[in-house]
């Protein structure tokens, strides 16, 4: 007899079924109409879905813990139905060596309440060491355009770097804005419209074209992060099979002319763009041409984000709201549940090679319990990131009532059920 059986309306192979999940040692062992266990949790008519996997977060630790740390970031993620995140390397110090990767893993293992992976930043100085670094990290990050604490990398090394990465079988994630193009357009910015004009879509288009050319004919898996423009989107619709791309909620739901509050709060790289860009991206999310939804959770304090626009740091929080917002869209049949689970769970887990995001035997027993009737308005005071604000104030959402990770209850009825350090490194 199994340790735990979970009953409810389970999202299994594309639709909701009244059935049971059998769990032993934190893994799914069976899914059947009826099962018996030592302990049974019957959620009746509530929905049971896979947890989200967010492949793009900045939890800011080490070095920037006034904005976020591994505990506050992981708590925010858990309350948003995310069981595993992958953290970017632009911390202080930057995560660019085996030593700094080990240091960040140790910090996360002591503080995170969810599972995690760690990216290594690739620079002009370390790209020839990819094979060594790749034995420890979950993947690599390249900045082809400057952003917050970005790591310097010259695009002339791109093809060689992609080729070297294939040896370690690690995915490379790319911030695709062409640096020469950004320098050409750079001017003093006073508002969001300036930020959009001075980081134009053509800079993203040029960079994505370079990425696609460099990746052609290689086995390397390449992921283009946070696509923001129609120009970039059109190029990626013809991408080869080894290239994937992601879209964030802020790029597909917000536009430069329709934002609430101080404009500095909405400053992000690449920029929030026009209504046409936004609608094109959201249409892609609904239709299936994009591979993943990613939050690009990049918290700064409200105080840092309000002031002289030109010096306000770029980035918005989002790890706690990404899944709940799209659960609301699924409830309203704006997007299908099948599409949502693919974007938030199945494909991100597949790209990073973690045994999550699926209800199948052998996968981690990671799931959320949702009362789909209970939607609410997003309020900053109810969220858990240290930064204390959201670009989606008053947007509708459906937050999970409970989240289980490896068969263990982590959040239940708005209460944390585990201690710091419950989270595990998801593996290299």
Structural domain boundaries in the chain: 2-49+361-416, 52-352
pLDDT digits (tens, 9 = 90+) for 145-164: 988 777 778 899 999 999 99
The residues with which 304 forms a beta bridge, in sequence order, are none
Which of 266, 252, 270 is closest to 176 using CA atoms? 270
| Calpha distance 77→8 (Å, rounded) | 23
**Does the domain at residues 2-49+361-416 carry the CATH identifier 2.60.40.10?**
no
pLDDT band at 176 (very low <50, low <70, confident <90, very high): very high
pLDDT digits (tens, 9 = 90+) for 353-373: 999 999 999 999 999 999 999
Q: What would you report as the CA-atom Rg of the chain, rounded to the nearest whole angstrom?
A: 20
- Residue 257: what pLDDT? 87
Which of 264, 280, 113 is closest to 191 using CA atoms? 264
Query: Regarding the domain delimited by 52-352, which CATH topology (the fold level of the hierarchy) does it fall under?
Result: TIM Barrel (3.20.20)
pLDDT at residue 260 greater than cutoff 70: no
pLDDT digits (tens, 9 = 90+) for 11-44: 999 999 999 999 999 999 999 998 888 899 999 9
- Contact assessment for residue 35 and residue 67, using Cβ atoms and an 8 Å cutoff: no
| Calpha distance 298→313 (Å, rounded) | 10
Which of 327, 343, 347 is closest to 397 using CA atoms? 327
Which of 58, 52, 45 is closest to 8 using CA atoms? 45
Which listed residue (296, 310, 375, 412) is catalytic? 296
Is 296 in the active site? yes
| The model's pTM | 0.97
Range in 19-23, 32-36, 328-332, 392-396 the model is least confident about? 32-36
Inter-CA distances, 372 with 45, 321, 358, Å: 10, 15, 20
Average pLDDT over residues 397-403: 98
Contacts of 382 (CB under 8 A, 6+ apart): none
- Contact assessment for residue 329 and residue 310, using Cβ atoms and an 8 Å cutoff: no
Residues of the chain above pLDDT 70, percent: 99
């Amino acid at each position: 007899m199994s340790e735990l059986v979970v009953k409810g309306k389970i999202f299994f192979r594309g639709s909701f079924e009244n059935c049971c999940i059998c769990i032993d040692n934190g893994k799914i062992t069976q899914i059947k109409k009826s099962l018996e266990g030592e302990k049974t949790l019957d959620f009746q008519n509530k929905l049971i879905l896979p947890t989200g996997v967010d492949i793009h977060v900045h939890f800011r630790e080490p070095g920037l813990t006034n904005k976020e740390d591994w505990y506050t970031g992981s708590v925010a993620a858990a309350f948003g139905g995310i069981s595993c995140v992958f953290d970017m390397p632009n911390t202080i110090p930057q995560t660019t060596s085996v030593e700094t990767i080990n240091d960040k893993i140790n910090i996360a293992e002591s503080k995170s309440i969810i599972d995690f992976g760690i990216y290594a930043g690739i620079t002009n100085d370390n790209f020839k060491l990819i094979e060594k670094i790749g034995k420890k990290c979950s993947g690599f990050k390249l900045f082809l355009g400057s952003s917050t604490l970005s790591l310097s990398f010259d695009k002339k090394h791109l093809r060689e770097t992609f080729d070297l990465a294939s040896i370690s079988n690690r995915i490379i994630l790319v911030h695709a804005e062409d640096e020469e193009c950004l320098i050409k357009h750079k001017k003093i910015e006073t508002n969001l419209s300036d930020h959009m004009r001075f980081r134009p879509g053509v800079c993203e288009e040029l960079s994505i074209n370079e990425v696609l050319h460099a990746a052609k004919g290689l086995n390397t898996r390449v992921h283009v992060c946070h696509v923001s423009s129609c120009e970039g989107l059109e190029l990626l619709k013809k991408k080869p099979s080894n290239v994937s791309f992601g879209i964030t909620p802020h790029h597909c739901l917000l536009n430069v002319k329709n934002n609430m509050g101080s404009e500095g709060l909405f400053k992000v790289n690449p920029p929030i763009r026009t209504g046409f860009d936004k609608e094109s991206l959201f249409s892609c999310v609904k239709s299936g041409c994009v591979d993943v939804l990613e939050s690009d959770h990049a918290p700064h304090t409200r105080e840092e984000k309000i002031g002289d626009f030109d010096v306000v740091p770029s980035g918005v929080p989002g790890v706690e709201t990404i899944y709940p917002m799209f659960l609301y869209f699924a409830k309203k049949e704006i997007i299908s549940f099948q599409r949502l689970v693919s974007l938030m769970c199945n494909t991100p887990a597949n790209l990073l090679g973690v045994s999550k995001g699926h209800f199948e035997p052998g996968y981690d027993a990671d799931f959320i319990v949702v009362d789909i009737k209970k939607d609410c308005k997003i309020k900053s005071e109810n969220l858990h990131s240290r930064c204390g604000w959201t670009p989606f104030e008053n947007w509708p959402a459906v937050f999970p009532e409970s989240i289980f990770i490896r068969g263990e209850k982590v959040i239940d009825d708005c209460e944390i059920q585990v201690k710091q350090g419950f989270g595990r490194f998801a593996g290299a």
